[in-house]
Amino acid sequence: MSGQEGTVIEVRGLTKSFPGVLALNDVSFDIRRNTVHCIVGENGAGKSTFIKILTGAFEKTAGEVLMDGKSFGPRTVREAMSRGISVLYQELNVVNDLTVEENLTLGKENHRAGFIRKSEDMGRVVEILKGLDASIRLNMSVGDLSVAQKQVIEIAKVVSTESPVLIMDEPTAALSEDEVRRLFAVIRKLKADGMTIIYISHKLAEVFEIGDYVTVFRDGQMVGTRAVGEISRACRDVPEACLELVKMMLGKVVVESYIPSRTDRSRKLLEVRKISNKKLHDVHFDLFKGEILGFYGLVGAGKTEVARALYGLDEYQGEILINGKPARARSVRGALAAGFSMVPEERRADGIFAALSIRANIPMMRMASILRGGLISNIKEKRLADQYIAKMSVAARDRDQKVAFLSGGNQQKVVISKCLNREGDILLMDEPTRGVDVGAKHEIHVIIRGLANEGKGIIVFSSELPEILHLCDRIVLMHDGSVREIVKNGEDVDSNHIMAVIAGGKV
């Protein structure tokens, strides 16, 4: 390797557009050789698009990437690897049924006429593996190893290809604290050996532990690149340093005025008493009749996990009371029976029945609403559909239109209708306006407000602070799987304080 200092990757005006979306917009920054360069940003900020261009999965629309001063535009993952960029994906590519040794040589077996011969030059990769984690033996079955150990095997494979640049995509997502510490030791070792590591993570504290530089993405643009040391020096502690990054990630928070709902503070609809599972620690909160409760935190803070636990999708310890009575749902059907319904985060994958008409989608959670004498009544079905199409002002040709052909906002209105027709008391809404245009977003907010005024209890899980501040009566702030603070919304709410809390600061 030439000089230890200098730039290994230069990004110049990199742009990627999809029909209707600008996923990366004129991004320029440098990645210095032999550093750990972190990339952070919320969902949709453009991190993964950037990585996919580097690894040849996407083709750039405009701009340039230089590697070692030479133009770099791989068209396939293989080409990217041969030019020296390897990736450690979030989903591991090890084969559980094979041994460690077989996994190490997978894809580059020494073979003659299709028969595998014992490799002679395994020496190097085995040495690397020993150097990384001496407790892994070659004849162990990979299926018996921990996630962290499997990662180490993949890292050893990557290192043995002598690729100078390694991209790690959220490597700590599935690791325990102890394993994270060991992974960091491995990363430091790789850096000492001269590698450059591009480290993508949602966990900002990790940036300050392992990173040399950090680049922040927001809405497809590069907000800034900072030396981690500089930020740390300027701040008293890690949470305060994280707050700097959070501010960059979220940008200026523009809030529409908040109109309080007519919450009936005398009636607790839902009491959640210290629920815990793998991802959650002692989550504790109440929901009142007619209240819109917001859950806010960075990606990975545990918002979706709270929704999943309440909706009977994940196991948990702890207690949930509905209208004062214990209601512990072990399944979705249990949760529905207890009075929950949920607008899921992924509308296309989990919400709509795209091939069915609007009128067929709406009664799906409570078929009894369109039955007469045990059979589907066309009259009742049409009436129900028309009623919700009017109430939600769904823009559609007619009630028989396939949901696939509706816009995102109108699809979301159909999903909300489906949940409302369940007539439960509590509506969970995970990212209720994701992928919805501005006009529809406003309409959906009005609908949510209206539902609260009708007496429903609504929990909104959102990664958009403006949405939370516009809609919610109280805001549950989450960090690292636990509730840090519950703040009341109003004129005096301090968005700087909220950002400090979700960044992990002291309350």
Partner 1 sequence: MVLIGIILAIVVVLTFLSPNFLKVRNFTNVFLQVAVIVIICSAANLLMITGHFDLSVGSVLAFCAILHAYLSKHGLPVELSIVVTCAAAVVWGALNSLTVGVLRITPVIATMGTMYAARGFAFLIARWDGGANISTGLPVNFTSFGRFLLPGGMPLVIVLMVVAIAVFWFIEKKTVLGRYTYAIGGNRSAAALSGINVVGIVSVLYIIVGLLAGFCGVLQVSRVGSAFPNIAEGLEFDVVVAIVLGGTSMLGGEGSTFGMILGALIVGLAANGLNILGVPYFYQEISKGVLLIIALLLDQLLRQRSELGGRA
Give the DSSP letter of residue 7: E
Residue 316 or 340: the one with the smaller Cβ distance to partner 1 is: 340
Closer to partner 1 by CB, 140 or 371: give it: 371
Q: Of 329-348, which residues contact partner 1 (CB under 8 A)?
A: 332-333, 336, 342, 344
- Which 8-state DSSP code applies to residue 1? -
Looking at 23, 36, 207, 365, which residue binds partner 1 (CB under 8 A)?
A: 365
User: With respect to partner 1, which residue has the nearer C-beta, 196 or 304?
Assistant: 304
Nearest C-alpha neighbor of 334 from the set 312, 353, 364, 357? 312
**What's the gap between Cα 148 and its chain centre?**
21
Burial class (CB in 10 A: 0-12, 13-18, 19+), 291: buried
**Stretch in the footprint of partner 1 (CB under 8 A) among 83-91, 247-255, 356-364, 467-475:** 356-364
The residues near 256 (Cβ < 8 Å, ≥ 6 apart) are 466, 470
User: Which amino acid is present at 497?
Assistant: H
Of 371, 395, 486, 493, the one binding partner 1 by CB under 8 A? 371
**Contact assessment for residue 215 and residue 29, using Cβ atoms and an 8 Å cutoff:** yes
Task: Tell me which of 21, 95, 234, 376 binds partner 1, using CB under 8 A.
Answer: 376
Q: Which is nearer to partner 1, 106 or 332 (CB)?
A: 332
Give the integer Cα–Cα distance in Å for 28 and 475.
Answer: 36
Applying CB under 8 A, the span of 199-207, 281-289, 353-361, 431-439 interacting with partner 1 comes to 353-361
The one among 59, 256, 350, 423 contacting partner 1 by CB under 8 A: 350
Decide if residue 390 touches partner 1 (CB under 8 A): no
* Minimum CB distance to partner 1, residue 338 (Å): 11
Q: Which of 349, 379, 390, 438 binds partner 1 (CB under 8 A)?
A: 349
The footprint of partner 1 on residues 414-433 (CB under 8 A) is 418
In the complex with partner 1, which residue's Cβ is closer, 150 or 308?
Answer: 308
Number of H helices, E strands in the chain: 17, 24
Q: Are strands 36-40 and 213-218 parallel, antiparallel or unpaired?
A: parallel
| Contact of 502 with 495, CB cutoff 8 Å | no
Interhelix angle 438-453/408-420, rounded to 10 degrees, is 10
Contact residues: partner 1, CB under 8 A: 311, 332-333, 336, 342, 344, 349-356, 360, 364-365, 367, 371, 374-376, 402, 405, 418
